[in-house]
Structure 1
Amino acid sequence: MTLRDLRLPLTLLVAALAGCSQGDAPATNNAAPSAYAAVARGRIDIEGGLLKLTMPSEGVVAQIGAHEGDHVHKGQVLVQLDQEPAKLALDSALAEQQQATAQIGSLDVRAKSAALRASRLEQAAKAGAGDMQSADDARDAANQAEAALTNARATVALAEQKVSGARYQLSLRTLRAPSDGEVVQRAVQLGASVSPASGPVFSVLPDSPRIVRAELNESFVGVVHDGMAAEVDDDSGSGMAPLKAHVLRIGNVFGASTLEDDPQVRANTRSVECVLTLDQQPSTPLRIGQRVLVKFAPK
C-alpha cells in the first residue's frame, strides 16, 4: 500500500471532526476531544484580487514606466502612448477657445453702445425731440447686438468644453498606477499598438492586507460564525509559521470545492466561502494563491 493510499481526503477528516463535534462517544477512554470545531482548506488572497489594468485609449506605446517585480506608487506612470495626436487636438481646441473669447470684448462694447443709443433716442422721442421710428430701429439694433453677444458667450462655453474634452483625451493616453503595489505582470512592449480591447497591459498586486478565503464544508456551516477565532497553517510546503485569524464573514451561496485535490471528492463536495482576516500581518509576505489549512477553534 502506498503513502498516497494511506492519505485520507480532507472531507473524510471533516466528517470525522464533525462526528466528534456532535458528541459521538470516543473509541477509547483515553481519546482526547478535538481541539478544533472545524477544519477547512483555504488560500491567501486580498480583497478585490489583482488589479488588471487596460489602456483607456488606443495608440502606439511610446514609454513604459515600470517592469515586472517593481514596486509602484499611486499615480506613477506605467504606460504612455504617443501624445502627438492628442496634443494636436488640444492645440486646435485652445485656438478655437482663444478666437471665441476675443470676440466677446468687441461684441460687449457694441451691445452696450447700442443699448445706450436706443435709450437716448427713446427719451428724445418721448420729449418730442425725435421720432419713434428711429428709437424703435435703435432698440432693434441693441437687441441684435445683445443676441450676438449671447451667442458669442455660448460659443466660448462650447470651446471650453472642447478644450476640456481634448485634455481628457490626452490624459487617457497615460496609464497610471491606481494604488501602491507590486507589478506582477507586464504584457506590453515599446512600439506596440494597444487599445481598450487588447486586454490588460499590467497586473498589479495592491499593498493591501492579506485575507484567507476558506472553503467551509456544508457540515460545518452551522458551527462556524462571524468573529470566530481560527489558526491558519501552511498547506503548501512553504514552511509558514501558524497565524492567528478570525472569521470576517461567511457566504450565503453553496458551490463546488476548488481546492480539493481528489476530483471525485471535489465534484461531490459542497462548500461555502468563508473569509478570514489575519490578526497580524506576518513579517514574511504571503503569496496570493498560497494554500493554507484553516482550523476553527471552538468557543
Structure 2
Amino acid sequence: MTSLQRMAGALLCAGGVLTLAGCDAGAARGAGRSEVQAGAAEPSGSRERAPVAIARGRVDVDGGLLRLSLGATGIAQAVPVREGQRVTKGQVILQLDDRAARAELRTSQAQLQAARARMQASQGRLEPLRVMADRLRQAAQAGAGQEHLADEALQRLEQARADVAVASAEVQVAQGLHDQARARLAQLTLRAPEEGALIQLDAHAGVTVQPDRPVAVLLPHRRLIVRAEVNETFVGTLRPGMRAIVQTDGEATARELPAARLARLSQVFATSRLQEDNQRGPVRAVDCILEFETEPQARVGQIVRVSIYE
C-alpha cells in the first residue's frame, strides 16, 4: 500500500469519528429539550402536597331548603303559582277558603268600634261631673250648700271613673279579639318567606290542607355551600380557613368546582350518612361547612368529593 493510500484511509476514519460525535451531541441536546418540555407540561396539581383530609359531601344552600306549611286546617281555594316557579318575598303560594275567617274579622272589628264608642262616652261624662262635684264641695265648705249633695256628686264622679276603667278594659279585650281574628285570617294564606324557587308543591285547589304538614319546598336564593362529613380520624388536623378542592362524584367524568374554604366544624360527632365501612359498620364523622370562593355551577343535593389542604 502506498503512502497516499494510507493517508486517505486515515482521513476517512477521522471523518467518521467526527460524524459520530456530532450525532451524540445532537441526541444529547434533543434529550435535554425533551426533559425540559416534559417538566413544563407536568400539571401543577401533581406537585401539590397531599391533602390532610378527604371527605364526601353534598352541595347545599346556606341555611337549607325551606319546607313551608300552614298553621290552620282548611280547603285550598287558590294556588296561584306552579312548581318550579321563582317567587318573591311575600308572594302568595297557597290560599285557603277564608270566608268564615273574614266574617269573624268583621264582627271583631264592629265589637272593637262599639267598645271604643262606649269608652269615649264614659270619658265625656267625667268632666261635667268633676266640675259639679268641685262646686258642691266648695259650697258645702263655705256653708252655702248641703253636705250630702256634695257627697252624692262625689259618688257620681267616682262611679263615672269606674265606668271609664271598665270601658277601657273592654276596648283592650275587643282589640285582642280583633288581633286574634286577623291572625287566624293570615294563617289561611301561605306566603313566600323570601325570594327563591318552588322545587316542590303538593297542593291544588279543592284539597284539604292539614296544619304543620309541608305543602311546598322553597329553594331560597342564597349562596351554595358544601356539607361534608369528615371521618373522626381527620378531625384533629382541621381548622377553619383551610382551602379545599371540590370535585363532583358520581358523574361520568369528575368535574372540579370552584375553590372553597373550610368555614366551620360541628362540635359533635354524628353517624355518617355518606360513608359506611362494611367491615366495622357505621362510621362516626363530624359535619363541616365549606364555602365556595365563587358561585359554582352545581345543583343542591349533588354528591361531591372534598380534598382539604393546609
Per the normalisation by structure 2, the TM-score is 0.79
Q: Distance in 2 between matches of 1:265 and 1:231?
A: 29
1:293 offset after TM fit, Å?
A: 0.9
Long gaps (5+) in structure 2: 1-45
Match of 2:289 among 263, 269, 275: 275
Structure-2 residue corresponding to 1:15: none
From the superposition, tell whether residues 176 and 133 of structure 1 become closer, same or farther in structure 2 (CA, over 3 Å). Answer: same
Structure-1 residue corresponding to 2:143: 128
Q: Is the 8 A contact 2:277 2:283 kept in 1?
A: no
Give the residue type in structure 2 aligned to 1:173.
L
Structure-1 residue corresponding to 2:303: 291
SS of the aligned residue for 1:293 comes to strand
SS of the aligned residue for 2:222 comes to coil
Give the residue type in structure 1 aligned to 2:183.
Y
1:150 offset after TM fit, Å?
A: 1.9
Give the residue type in structure 2 aligned to 1:236.
G
1:156 aligns with 2:171: yes
Q: Distance in 2 between matches of 1:88 and 1:266?
A: 64
From the superposition, tell whether residues 150 and 251 of structure 1 become closer, same or farther in structure 2 (CA, over 3 Å). Answer: closer
Give the residue type in structure 1 aligned to 2:101.
A
Q: Distance in 2 between matches of 1:238 and 1:264?
A: 25
From the superposition, tell whether residues 289 and 69 of structure 1 become closer, same or farther in structure 2 (CA, over 3 Å). Answer: same
Q: Distance in 2 between matches of 1:180 and 1:34?
A: 42
From the superposition, tell whether residues 214 and 107 of structure 1 become closer, same or farther in structure 2 (CA, over 3 Å). Answer: closer
Q: Is the 8 A contact 1:256 1:266 kept in 2?
A: no
Q: Is the 8 A contact 1:234 1:242 kept in 2?
A: yes
Match of 2:256 among 241, 260, 266: 241
Q: Is the 8 A contact 1:217 1:270 kept in 2?
A: yes
1:131 offset after TM fit, Å?
A: 1.0
1:32 offset after TM fit, Å?
A: 7.8
Structure-1 residue corresponding to 2:235: 221
From the superposition, tell whether residues 268 and 125 of structure 1 become closer, same or farther in structure 2 (CA, over 3 Å). Answer: closer
CA deviation profile, 1:126-178 (whole Å, cap 9, x unmatched):
12211101111111111111211221122122212222221111111111111
From the superposition, tell whether residues 111 and 252 of structure 1 become closer, same or farther in structure 2 (CA, over 3 Å). Answer: closer
Match of 2:79 among 52, 56, 64: 64
1:111 aligns with 2:123: no
Q: Distance in 1 between matches of 2:110 and 2:240?
A: 62
Q: Distance in 1 between matches of 2:121 and 2:273?
A: 73
Q: Is the 8 A contact 1:76 1:176 kept in 2?
A: yes
1:209 aligns with 2:235: no
Q: Distance in 2 between matches of 1:76 and 1:96?
A: 31
Give the residue type in structure 2 aligned to 1:92.
T
Q: Distance in 2 between matches of 1:82 and 1:36?
A: 58
Give the residue type in structure 1 aligned to 2:235.
V
Alignment of 1:35-74 (within 5 A): 35-74=50-89
1:195 offset after TM fit, Å?
A: 2.6
From the superposition, tell whether residues 238 and 165 of structure 1 become closer, same or farther in structure 2 (CA, over 3 Å). Answer: farther
Structure-1 residue corresponding to 2:14: none
1:111 offset after TM fit, Å?
A: 2.1
Per the normalisation by structure 1, the TM-score is 0.82
CA deviation profile, 1:3-56 (whole Å, cap 9, x unmatched):
xxxxxxxxxxxxxxxxxxxxxxxxxxxx98854332211111123321111111
Identity %: 38
- Which range moves more in the overlay, 67-76 or 239-248? 239-248
From the superposition, tell whether residues 263 and 188 of structure 1 become closer, same or farther in structure 2 (CA, over 3 Å). Answer: farther
Structure-2 residue corresponding to 1:143: 158
Give the residue type in structure 1 aligned to 2:177.
K
Alignment of 1:82-97 (within 5 A): 82-97=97-112
CA RMSD of aligned residues (A): 2.1
Structure ranking higher in helix proportion:
2
CA deviation profile, 1:231-252 (whole Å, cap 9, x unmatched):
0011121754332011111223
Q: Distance in 2 between matches of 1:205 and 1:238?
A: 26
Q: Is the 8 A contact 1:257 1:267 kept in 2?
A: no
Alignment of 1:248-267 (within 5 A): 248-260=263-275, 264=278, 267=281
Q: Is the 8 A contact 1:74 1:180 kept in 2?
A: yes
Q: Distance in 2 between matches of 1:134 and 1:291?
A: 91
Decide which structure has the larger Cα Rg and report it. 2
Give the residue type in structure 1 aligned to 2:308.
F
1:100 aligns with 2:115: yes
Give the residue type in structure 2 aligned to 1:290.
Q
